[in-house]
């Protein structure tokens, strides 16, 4: 393994010139006085990507300096999985959480897949184990198991097919059965259940970020702001979703705002989403109820830089687990969005 020499991380005139076009992309949301802190790392990361033939996949919840200035591919969990299949890079850096990096590794077993901080987890992934699924299969023999991608590879290996928030309904209906086990997000499962005749057996997992929103909070925002469009992620509790005008995955939320240009919008999801859309959409006012995902926020320019320098921490998955988990992800990709 080649460890590259440390870059000199200073805001030199060369760095200022090289990063000026990138600052234009984020000038609406990153104050000018902050740029000298980010710019040297951004320049160094973009150089390292070329040297390593690396690509950075960033989830929609990454901070704007990552999302707009070093990422090559951005999107929701489904888009990141779909795009991970197509890359011809030697190295993939996943700017997101651990399960997303595992999915990228499942789809690219021969590539180096890096997660800049291994502790970037997810409360949903933590909520269920492979043993739980084996017990559920005993309790409901013959009922297919769908797991949300927000799970470990070991859990995926026990299921029949995966889904994301962007294709959950389509995956449920693709199986042609009248009953499914849908894990682990109780609220996403409830949301899907409102749109299908398929009976859904749920689990009690929750996203620690989205479960904090309440229907009262949304109604109060509506009282405070005229003409407010409310769009929410399906990991929110049912009373929040009932109070929303549109429900969708992070990418579907972004597309909704990009295409419809509502004058004023409340994105009921993680904080960085609004920042990232606000950077490119001038004519929309974002009201920001801000719940941070502490796991997503573990990823920083600094640890991306370190990860590319040292080519660590790498994702490794037991080959037997990987073979079974890959099948579940590939079946989902065949269903599409």
Binding site for ligand SF4 (CB under 6 A): 97, 122-124, 150, 207-209, 235, 270, 293, 295-296
Count of alpha carbons within 13 angstroms of residue 16, beta-carbon side: 7
Q: Which does 123 bind (CB under 5 to 8 A by kind): ligand SF4, ligand 13P, none?
A: ligand SF4
Tokens of 257: 């705002």
Which stretch, 49-57, 105-113, 163-171, 304-312, contacts ligand 13P (CB under 6 A)? 163-171
164 near ligand 13P, rule: CB under 6 A: yes
Minimum Å distance from CB 237 to ligand SF4? 13
User: Which of 233/305 has CB closer to ligand 13P?
Assistant: 233
DSSP state of 72: S
List phi, psi (to 5°) of 287: -95, 125
Q: Could you tell me the end-to-end alpha-carbon distance of the chain, in angstroms, rounded to an integer? A: 38
Q: Which does 60 bind (CB under 5 to 8 A by kind): ligand 13P, ligand SF4, none?
A: ligand 13P
Q: Where are the alpha helices (DSSP H) in the chain?
A: 13-26, 35-52, 64-67, 77-86, 98-107, 123-126, 130-139, 153-156, 168-174, 186-193, 215-224, 238-242, 250-260, 271-278, 301-310, 319-335
List phi, psi (to 5°) of 59: -75, 155
How many residues make up the chain in this entry?
337
Q: Which of 185, 211, 235, 275 binds ligand 13P (CB under 6 A)?
A: 235
Tokens of 294: 């502490």
Which stretch, 31-39, 162-170, 300-308, 316-324, contacts ligand 13P (CB under 6 A)? 162-170
Pairing of strands 112-114, 199-201: unpaired
Q: Which of 62, 77, 152, 309 binds ligand 13P (CB under 6 A)?
A: 77
List phi, psi (to 5°) of 130: -55, -40
Minimum Å distance from CB 198 to ligand 13P? 21
User: Which of 77/82 has CB closer to ligand 13P?
Assistant: 77
Tokens of 26: 């984020």
User: Which of 43/78 has CB closer to ligand 13P?
Assistant: 78
123 near ligand 13P, rule: CB under 6 A: no
Contacts to ligand 13P from residues 242-271, by CB under 6 A = 249-250
Sign for the CA dihedral angle at 40, 43, 47, 49 comes to positive
User: Which of 39/97 has CB closer to ligand SF4?
Assistant: 97
User: Which of 114/273 has CB closer to ligand 13P?
Assistant: 273
Minimum Å distance from CB 298 to ligand 13P? 14
State how far the Cα of 109 lies from the Cα of 90, in Å rounded to an integer: 11
165 near ligand 13P, rule: CB under 6 A: yes
69, 20, 61: which is closest to 41 by C-alpha? 69
Which stretch, 29-37, 75-83, 111-119, 326-334, contacts ligand 13P (CB under 6 A)? 75-83
- Chain residues in the site for ligand 13P (CB under 6 A): 60, 76-78, 150, 164-166, 207, 233, 235, 249-250
């Amino acid at each position: 393994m080649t460890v590259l020499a440390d870059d000199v991380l200073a805001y030199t005139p060369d760095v200022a010139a090289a990063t000026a076009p990138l600052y234009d992309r984020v000038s609406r949301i990153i104050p000018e006085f902050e740029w000298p802190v980010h710019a040297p790392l951004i320049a160094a990361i973009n150089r390292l990507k070329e040297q390593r033939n690396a690509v950075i996949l960033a989830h929609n919840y990454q901070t704007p300096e990552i999302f707009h200035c070093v990422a090559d591919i951005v999107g929701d969990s489904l888009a990141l999985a779909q795009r991970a299949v197509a890359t011809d890079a030697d190295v993939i850096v996943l700017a997101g959480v651990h399960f997303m990096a595992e999915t990228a590794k499942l789809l690219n077993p021969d590539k180096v897949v890096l997660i800049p901080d291994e502790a970037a987890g997810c409360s949903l992934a933590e909520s269920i184990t492979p043993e739980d699924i084996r017990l559920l299969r005993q309790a409901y023999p013959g009922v297919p198991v769908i797991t949300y991608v927000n799970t470990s590879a070991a859990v995926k290996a026990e299921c029949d097919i995966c889904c994301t928030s962007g294709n959950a309904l389509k995956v449920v209906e693709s199986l042609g059965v009248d009953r499914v086990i849908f894990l682990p997000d109780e609220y996403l499962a409830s949301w899907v259940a409102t749109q299908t005749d398929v009976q859904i057996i749920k689990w009690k997992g929750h996203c620690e970020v989205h479960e904090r929103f309440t229907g009262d909070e949304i109604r109060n925002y509506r009282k405070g702001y005229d003409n407010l469009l409310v769009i929410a992620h399906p990991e929110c509790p049912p009373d929040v979703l009932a109070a929303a005008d549109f429900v969708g995955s992070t990418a579907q939320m972004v597309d909704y705002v990009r295409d419809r240009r509502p004058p004023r919008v409340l994105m009921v999801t993680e904080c960085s989403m609004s920042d990232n859309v606000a950077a490119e959409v001038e004519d929309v006012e974002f009201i920001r109820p801000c719940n941070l995902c502490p796991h997503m926020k573990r990823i920083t320019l600094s640890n991306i830089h370190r990860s590319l320098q040292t080519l660590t921490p790498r994702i490794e998955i037991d080959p037997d687990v990987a073979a079974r988990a890959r099948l579940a992800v590939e079946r989902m990709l065949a269903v599409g969005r």
